[in-house]
Structure 1
Amino acid sequence: MKRFLISLLLLIGLSSTPILKVYAQSNPPVVHAVLFYSPTCGHCEFVINQTLVPMINQYGNQLQILGVDISQQQGYSLFAAALQKFGLDRGGVPFLVIDNIYLMGSQEIPERFPGLVETYLAQGGLDWPNLPGLDNIIPTQTSPSTTTPEVMTALPITPPASPLATHAPESNIPASSSPTTDPLTTLTHQEKSTWRERFAHDPAGNTLAVIVLVGMIGALAWGYRLFQNTKGASLKDNWSWAIPVLCVVGFGVAGYLAYVETAQVQAVCGPVGDCNTVQQSEYARLFGILPIGVLGLVGYAAIIISWLVARFTAGRPANLAPLAILGMTVFGTLFSVYLTFLEPFVIGATCAWCLTSAVLMTVLMMLSIAPAKPALAKLGHKKKTGKLKRL
């Protein structure tokens, strides 16, 4: 992540506004492009590190890229206008526009953007794309000195070995008097959108997420009362086959999300929600390392294994397995509550695949309550019997 932040600074910088300008010098021929990105987007990190920064270094004064941060309201409005121009109902970042062509995702941009740059350079260069609202944010003179390439940014920081100089406009953050300021501590947004604004980005999907969230919280409360009042059930009965069936479905959902997160591809979303925005957020990986989809795969696999132990073995393992299933599903439901809360109120987008997994885990929790109580009673009884024998 540190490498990404430094590369992001080299490419586009950060300021108190969501519009960030990159200059690589302006000697003709020059190709111009616009990149819509989010600072918390893993796909953006990949594209910036692996494609755009190397291209900036390669082409130098022949490539100019304008970065637009969609995590801020003004940037999101420009992104929405761009999507509308291309006739798209929704789209994810990274989203790069060159001429009248849009490229989306960490697979299409690396594959096509270098070739397009070569083509337009051979044709004599290319002006900024015709996007709604773009003229209002690009100054009339976008060409810096031919001897001093620069990135317009609010940060007075020039990272070591940077091919681009930085400049801090007086209207933004004042320059620090310390030359050793850590850029990682200053890469923060000066304007945060409110939860209402984030919710409004995807009202239909976020409303559905809130409904699922309320349902999961209600299921947790109901499950607690059910555990106290139930007489118990056995996982050896036929009804318990619903548990592995639901786990198989959940395994498929988690497997697809794991593929999207690890292969850095665009997710196929349904009519409601914006899966790609969720999958490109910082919350798509646990501790910034483990993809949530992979964690789901492990969880569903562990539940199936525990069910097999409970159904086809006897003795202490058969009694421990229902408790293990209950523990895993309760944890999974609580974690799903956390993730589902983040979608409408923090990320501002909802993933239908994630909601499906959350519902599946909640149902699994409810199914595991009845078998867990007699299993717990049997373990307690055996413990007391063992103490009496020793006496």
Structure 2
Amino acid sequence: MKLRTMLLLLLLGSLLGTLGHALPALAQGTDLPTGEVRVVYFTSPLCSFCLQVEERDLPPLEAQYGDDLHILRVDTTTALGQRLFQTAWEQYAVPLERRGTPTMIINDMVLVGALEIPTQLPGLVAELLAAGGNDWPPIPGLEEAIALDAELEEAGGRPLWQARFLRDLPANAISATLLVLMLVLAVALTRPALWRSQFLARVPLWVKIGIALIGLGVALYLLNVEVTKTDAFCGPVGECNVVQQSRYAILFGFLPMALFGALGYAAILSTYIYEQWIRGPYAGTMSLVRFLLAAFGFLFSIWLTYLQPFVIGATCVWCLASAITMIFTVVLNAGSGWAALQTLQKRGWKGYLRALEREARPVATSAAVAPATIAPAASSPRRNESRKRSGRHRR
């Protein structure tokens, strides 16, 4: 009896557990009432019919229904709007002759033009409100436009970059300050004469390698955060996880930004190793390669530093640390890099490689010259003896 009771309890628990996992999934896949009507409106400032709909047809509906009607305006002249518009065409198999603005999508209905929208939209809105509302149409990527719309509403008429900057003012101010310094340095890097400094040439190799190792360590830490989906330690200032979770943390849609940075620092470190220890046939070109890598990484860091306070609205102190290490890397390699570039510009690739061969030749040349200098010394006793004999004959 006890065994039967235990089995029944186990079965009941398994059934409840299964239902507990299944119900949320069922709820996500069902169009539950939202209490409002949600419409996606593809428009363009260059479209006269869009202006007609915007000024004549939509204001009365929005005034009548208020918060019960949410129209998401998507500008098709922007990159995001154009991408979403093309996705919607494919999603709803819109014929070529109907692909234009203004276009509205409400539930599975696609309304196109200044005739369909004012004649059909009011009735659809009334029906959907009576049914409890509807959700957004399932257009891939639409959540990005929804988030942007929420940001614009939060800005309250202010420029969007200003609203984003003010979200985390202390950290974003640090990013903006660093951005200004990087822009000034970028201008200075275009002048080779500023980098002919003996001080930079005397910086020890271990310092340069150490800076690159710090940058590699930062990139690997952020890559670990990205792969393991854990929270980054950010400290008292900044919102590292907001930056890491933004769409800018992935490059080209598949490459984590941290991995891209790690590969860059690894490439810079490999130039030091090849130049100082491997010393292959092209070891002399490593100063040029390293400077070009550092310059690219520096310019890329400028773009990332700009994105944080003005586009993402959050600052990652690890990203700033990576930018600072790239600043030091490009500064310490600017002198040798510009010297190599000027030689390359004057002599071309062949002349540049010949110059590198001459610089690598003195060691071999000195070894070849040494026997020639010893030979006369070895023959000197015979010469002295012949001189003595010639002197005796003269006497």
Tell me which interval the TM-score lies in, with the shorter structure as reference length: 0.5 to 0.7
- Identify the residue that residue 106 of structure 2 maps to in structure 1: 176
Distance 1:292 1:342 in 2: 13
Structure 2 residue ranges without an equivalent (≥5):
1-17, 41-66, 72-103, 111-136, 355-395
Distance 2:214 2:39 in 1: 51
- Identify the residue that residue 313 of structure 2 maps to in structure 1: 348
Distance 2:199 2:274 in 1: 13
Distance 1:268 1:151 in 2: 37
Whichever residue aligns with residue 239 of structure 2, its letter is: D
Whether the 8 Å CA contact 1:56–1:63 is kept in 2: the answer is no
Distance 1:291 1:378 in 2: 37
- Identify the residue that residue 209 of structure 2 maps to in structure 1: 244
Distance 1:171 1:152 in 2: 9
Distance 1:153 1:361 in 2: 50
Whether the 8 Å CA contact 2:38–2:69 is kept in 1: the answer is no
After superposition, residues 294-305 of structure 1 pair within 5 angstroms as: 294-305=259-270
- Listed one character per residue, the Cα deviations across residues 142-199 of structure 1 (whole Å, up to 9, x for unaligned) are xxxxx98435565469xxxxxxxxxxx8512375386467623644223424222211
Describe the shift of the 1:234–1:318 C-alpha distance in structure 2 as closer, same or farther (beyond 3 A). Answer: farther
The alignment status of 1:383 with 2:313, answered yes or no, reads no
After superposition, residues 56-205 of structure 1 pair within 5 angstroms as: 58-60=22-24, 149-151=32-34, 154-155=37-38, 171-173=69-71, 176=106, 179=109, 183-184=139-140, 186-187=142-143, 188-189=145-146, 190-191=149-150, 192=152, 193=155, 194-205=160-171
After superposition, residues 204-283 of structure 1 pair within 5 angstroms as: 204-225=170-191, 227-231=192-196, 239-283=204-248
Whether the 8 Å CA contact 1:235–1:371 is kept in 2: the answer is no
Aligned residue for 1:150, secondary structure, equals coil
Q: CA deviation at 1:60?
A: 4.7
Q: CA deviation at 1:228?
A: 3.7
Aligned residue for 1:183, secondary structure, equals coil
Distance 2:296 2:327 in 1: 10
- Listed one character per residue, the Cα deviations across residues 22-78 of structure 1 (whole Å, up to 9, x for unaligned) are xxxxxxxxxxxxxxxxxxxxxxxxxxxxxxxx99871259989xxxxxxxxxxxxxx
Whichever residue aligns with residue 205 of structure 1, its letter is: A
- Identify the residue that residue 298 of structure 2 maps to in structure 1: 333
Q: CA deviation at 1:340?
A: 0.8
Whether the 8 Å CA contact 1:273–1:352 is kept in 2: the answer is yes
- Listed one character per residue, the Cα deviations across residues 357-386 of structure 1 (whole Å, up to 9, x for unaligned) are 001101101111111133345555472489
Distance 1:212 1:385 in 2: 36
Describe the shift of the 1:234–1:323 C-alpha distance in structure 2 as closer, same or farther (beyond 3 A). Answer: farther
Describe the shift of the 1:230–1:359 C-alpha distance in structure 2 as closer, same or farther (beyond 3 A). Answer: closer
Whether the 8 Å CA contact 1:278–1:351 is kept in 2: the answer is yes
Whichever residue aligns with residue 207 of structure 1, its letter is: A
Describe the shift of the 1:212–1:148 C-alpha distance in structure 2 as closer, same or farther (beyond 3 A). Answer: closer
Distance 1:315 1:60 in 2: 62
Whether the 8 Å CA contact 1:234–1:371 is kept in 2: the answer is no
Whichever residue aligns with residue 311 of structure 2, its letter is: V
Whether the 8 Å CA contact 2:242–2:314 is kept in 1: the answer is yes
Whether the 8 Å CA contact 2:172–2:315 is kept in 1: the answer is yes
Count of residue pairs the alignment pairs up: 241
Whether the 8 Å CA contact 2:36–2:68 is kept in 1: the answer is no
Identity %: 32
- Listed one character per residue, the Cα deviations across residues 113-141 of structure 1 (whole Å, up to 9, x for unaligned) are xxxxxxxxxxxxxxxxxxxxxxxxxxxxx
The alignment status of 1:359 with 2:321, answered yes or no, reads no
Distance 1:386 1:344 in 2: 44
- Listed one character per residue, the Cα deviations across residues 297-351 of structure 1 (whole Å, up to 9, x for unaligned) are 1111100101222234557612321111111111111111111111111111100
The root-mean-square deviation of aligned C-alpha atoms, in Å, is 3.7
Q: CA deviation at 1:260?
A: 0.7
Aligned residue for 1:172, secondary structure, equals strand
Q: Report the structure, 1 or 2, having the larger helix content.
A: 2
Describe the shift of the 1:341–1:335 C-alpha distance in structure 2 as closer, same or farther (beyond 3 A). Answer: same
Describe the shift of the 1:179–1:303 C-alpha distance in structure 2 as closer, same or farther (beyond 3 A). Answer: same
Whether the 8 Å CA contact 1:198–1:344 is kept in 2: the answer is yes
Whether the 8 Å CA contact 1:235–1:310 is kept in 2: the answer is no
- Identify the residue that residue 289 of structure 1 maps to in structure 2: 254
- Listed one character per residue, the Cα deviations across residues 260-302 of structure 1 (whole Å, up to 9, x for unaligned) are 1111111111111111111111111112211111111111110
Describe the shift of the 1:172–1:155 C-alpha distance in structure 2 as closer, same or farther (beyond 3 A). Answer: closer
Distance 1:215 1:385 in 2: 34
Whichever residue aligns with residue 150 of structure 1, its letter is: P
Distance 2:39 2:272 in 1: 58
Structure 1 residue ranges without an equivalent (≥5):
1-53, 65-146, 158-168
